[in-house]
Structures are given as C-alpha cells and as structure tokens.
Amino acid sequence: MTGRARQLIAVAGLIAVPAGAVLVAVGFGYESRVVLLVGAVAVVLGCVVGLFSTKVPPLLGRELAAYFQSPIAYVTATVFLVLAGVFFFSSLERYSMLSEKGQAVPGEVMGGMLWPVMVTMIFICPLITMRLLSEEVRSGTIEVLMTAPVTDFEVIISKFLAGLVFYAYLLGMTLIHVLVVWRVGNPDYGPIITMYLGLLLLGAMFLSVGLFVSAFTRNQIVASVVTFVLLMILFMIDGASGYVGGAVKDVCGFVSLYRQSDTFYKGMVDSRHVVYSLSFTGAMLFLTVRAVESRKWR
C-alpha cells in the first residue's frame, strides 16, 4: 500500500468514528434503533478501517498464527467446548422440564448458558492472554519488535485484538447449540443475541485485564494466576456491598461483573453496561501501553 492510500484510509476511518458516535447518540435520544445501529456499525467499521492504515494487520496476523500454532489453543478450545456442551445440555434439560409444566420462557434455554459460560471464561481468558506480552519479554523478541518502526499502541492493540478474535472463535463454536435450539423449537432470538453481545463485551474486559497483567511479568504462569485472581475479585466484588455502605456500596454493586451480566440475560442492552465495559477495556489498554512504555523509565 502506498503512503497516500494509507493516509486516505486513515482519514476515512477518522471521520467515520466520530460521525458514527454522533449517530449513536442521536439514535439513542430519539429512540430510533435503525439510526443507533447504523451509528454503531459506522464506529466499528471506522475503527477497523483506521487500523488497516497502521501496522496492525501484519502484527495481528502473527499473533493469530501464534495462537493456532501452539497446543494451548487446542487444549483451551477443547476444555471450553466440553464445558459449554455440558452447560447447554443441563440448560436444555431444565428447560424441557419447565416446558412440560408450561412454565418455560422462550429463549431461556440459551440464556441459561450465559452464567456458566461466563464463569468458565474467567478461567479461560487468563490462558488466552498469559503469553501475549510475557513470552515476548522472556524470549527477548520484544527487543526486535520494539526496535521495528511500530508504535507501542499498535503492538498492544494487535495483541488485544488477537485475543479477542480467539475468544470470539471459542464463542462462535457455541453457535452450534443455537442451531440445535433452532432445529427443535422456535426460540426468541433477542435474548440470544444480547447474550452473545454481553459475552463479547465481558470477554473484552477479561482480556484487557489479562493483557495488562502479562505486561508485568515474563512468567506465563504468574500472569495467568494473577489475571485469574483479579477477574475473580472483579466478578465477586458485589459480595462486598453487604459490608459497606453509601457510595462504596453503589460502586461495588455496579462494577461487579455479576450484576453486569444480569441485563444481557434478560434480553436487554443496558447502555450503562455497554459504556462501562467499553471504557473499562479502553482504560486497561491505555494502562497496558503505559506499562510497556515503563521499561523506558524503570
């Protein structure tokens, strides 16, 4: 790609993102789903197009290749799919029992999976992110990487996106369960879509925490254990609200991922939760860039 084409693409991306954001706000204000969706698509496309004008595609390509060339990917995927299958089966079983009594809620059969899948992801995400930066530091390849003409931001965002793509790949394989539900019944797709959206947003948060932690240690085991502990705290901080009062209680309740997952399960997209998880992810990525940069002043 020539420098000029690259610049044009970057400009297009830079225009699309704020324009899309404005559309999202307008759609939100006037309660127009179409405008809102168009805005959201514009933001996402703008980001993707913008990233294409940087060094992200080759970096991302390498990270993804590294995932699929290592046995960890296949072990992780197998463990996850076995667990997801078990959860789906038990959810299906419960659903069919309720359905005999005439108490079943359409769509709940998939919704019943949200919870256990989310808990599983708390175990899986540290495995996805542990090697991202630790391995570069341990093997010394960080030196060749950071002396190539790429910025710290490009490197971090590529690693994050690689993790997210792998995560989406795991999630995507559970679509087979949706296929089963579609074959045997007539589910309500609303809650299913919001469930996937919720899991994707939660995954982005989990992965950004994992990436951040992996910037601090050259040991993959340490990175994954610390990530796991942090995610657990983030997940269960809700429990602390029973012991504190006032603003702290509210914050604990809101920050907790346990509460976050609730609305997606019910088929709602609460904009507060979307904004929360996106800004949380953004903040973690920013901190990760700073953490990688910190080698320069340590």
Partner 1 sequence: MIQADHLSKCYGDTLAVDDLSFWVGEGEIVGLLGPNGAGKSTTMRILTCFLPATSGTASVAGHDVFTESVAVRRIVGYLPENVPLYSEMRVREYLSYRAKIKGVGRRERTAKIGSAMARCDIGGVAHRVIGQLSKGYRQRVGLADCLIHDPRVLILDEPTVGLDPNQIIAVRSLIKDLSHERTVLLSTHYLGEVEAVCERFLIINEGRLAIEGRLDELRDDTHVELAAVGPVDESRKSLVAIAGVTTVTAEPTGDGGAAYHIGTRSGSDVRQVVFDKMVAGGWKICELHTACRSLEDLFVQVTKDA
Q: Which residues bind partner 1 (CB under 8 A)?
A: 1-2, 55, 57-59, 61-62, 65-66, 69-70, 139-144, 146-151, 295-297
C-alpha distance from residue 140 to each of 146, 150, 158, 276 (Å): 11, 17, 19, 35
Contact criterion met (CB below 8 Å) for 131 and 227: no
CB 6 to partner 1: min, Å = 10
What is the Cα–Cα distance from 71 to 67, expressed in whole angstroms? 8
Least distance (Å) between residue 118 CB and partner 1: 31
CB of 246 to partner 1, least distance (A): 43
Task: Tell me how far apart the alpha carbons of residues 146 and 125 are, in angstroms, rounded to a whole number.
Answer: 25
Q: Report, in Å, the least distance between residue 165 CB and partner 1.
A: 17
By C-beta, is 18 or 140 nearer to partner 1? 140
Residues 6+ apart with CB under 8 A from 1: none
Q: What is the 3-state secondary structure (H, E, C) of 125-189?
A: HHHHHHHHHHHHHHHCHHHHHHCCCCCHHHHHHHHHHHHHHHHHHHHHHCHHHHHHHHHHCCCCH
Q: How far apart are CA 266 and CA 263, in angstroms?
A: 5
CA separation for the pair 73, 52 (Å, rounded): 26
Residue nearer to partner 1 on the CB measure, 29 or 57: 57
CB nearer to partner 1: give 58 or 282.
58
Q: Which is nearer to partner 1, 56 or 213 (CB)?
A: 56
- Least CB distance from residue 55 to partner 1, whole Å? 5
Rounded CA-CA distance 187/86 in Å is: 20
Instruction: Output the six-digit token pair for 282.
Output: 């953004």
141 or 271: CB nearest partner 1: 141
Q: Give least dist CB 215 to partner 1, A.
A: 16
Q: Between 17 and 56, whose beta carbon lies closer to partner 1?
A: 56
